[in-house]
Amino acid sequence: MFRIFIPKFYSDFNCIADACPDTCCKDWDIVVDDETLEFYRSSGDEKLVNALKTDSDGDVILDFDSGVCPHLKDGLCSVQTKYGGDKLCETCRTFPRITQDYTVFEERLLTLACPEAARLMIIEEPDFGFLSEKREVSGDSGYDNEFMHFLLAAREMTAEIIKKDASFEKMSEELFAFTRDVQSLVDDEVFDITELLRLDRSDKRLPERDDVFDIHRDMDVMDKNYLTLIEACRNDKMPAEINGELKRLFLYYIARYYLTAVASYDIITTVIRAYCAAVVCGALISFTKAENDSAARAVIYQKYSKEIEHSDENEEIFRRLDI
pLDDT at 177: 97
pLDDT tier, 145 (very low <50, low <70, confident <90, very high otherwise): very high
Q: pLDDT, tens digit, for every residue of 66-103?
A: 677 878 877 778 888 888 888 788 888 888 999 999 99
Top pLDDT among 15 and 281 is at 281
Residue 285 confidence (pLDDT):
98
Q: Which residues face 97 on adjacent strands?
A: 110
Q: What percent of the chain has pLDDT over 90?
A: 71
Query: How does residue 314 score in pLDDT terms, banded at 50, 70 and 90?
Result: very high
Q: How many folded domains does the chain comprise? A: 2
User: CA of 250: how far to CAs of 28, 50, 224, 245, in Å?
Assistant: 25, 42, 25, 9
Q: What is residue 251's predicted lDDT score, i.e. its pLDDT?
A: 97
Residue 248 has pLDDT above 80, yes or no: yes
Q: Is 33 contained in some domain?
A: yes
* 285 occurs within a structural domain: yes
Long-range own/partner contacts, residues 229-236 (CB < 8 A, 24 or more apart): 229/284, 229/287, 230/280, 230/283, 230/284, 232/287, 233/280, 233/283, 233/284, 233/286, 233/287, 233/288, 234/209, 234/210, 234/283, 235/283, 236/283, 236/284, 236/286, 236/287
pLDDT at 108: 96
Lowest-confidence pick of 67-81, 116-130, 228-242, 289-303: 67-81
Run of H or E residues at 210: helix 209-216
Triad 240, 111, 210: Cα angle to 5° = 45
Q: What's the pLDDT tens digit per position in 173-228?
A: 999 999 999 999 999 999 999 999 999 999 999 999 999 999 999 999 989 899 99
CB 232 within 8 A of CB 287: yes
Q: Exposed (0-12), middle (13-18) or buried (19+): which is 135, by Cβ within 10 Å?
A: middle
Per-residue pLDDT band for 22 (boundaries 50, 70, 90) equals: confident
| 218 and 287, same domain (yes or no) | yes
Q: What is the predicted pLDDT for the residue at 55?
A: 81
Average pLDDT over residues 127-145: 93
CB 217 within 8 A of CB 231: yes
pLDDT digits (tens, 9 = 90+) for 36-62: 888 888 888 788 877 788 888 888 888
Residue 100 placed within a domain:
no
- Reply yes or no on whether the pLDDT at 63 is more than 80: no
Q: Using CA atoms, how far apart are residues 312 and 285, in angstroms rounded to an integer?
A: 26
Same structural domain, 138 and 189: yes
| Residue 30 pLDDT greater than 90, yes or no | no
264 within some domain: yes
Of 36 and 156, the one with more pLDDT: 156
Picking from 78, 94, 110, the residue at the C-terminal end of a domain is 94
Residues 124 and 9: their CA atoms lie apart, in Å, by 10
**138 and 77, same domain (yes or no):** no
pLDDT at 84: 83
The answer to whether the predicted template modeling score (pTM) of the entire model surpasses 0.85 is yes
Q: Is residue 2 part of a domain?
A: no
Q: Is there a single domain that holds both residue 57 and residue 168?
A: no
DSSP for 226-288, written as a single string: HHHHHHHTTTPPPPGGGHHHHHHHHHHHHHHHGGGHHHH---HHHHHHHHHHHHHHHHHHHHT
Q: What is the pLDDT of residue 104?
A: 95
Instruction: Supply the pLDDT for residue 105.
Output: 95
CA atoms within 13 A on the CB side of 219: 32
Q: For the chain, what's the residue count?
A: 323
Query: Domain for residue 154, yes or no?
Result: yes
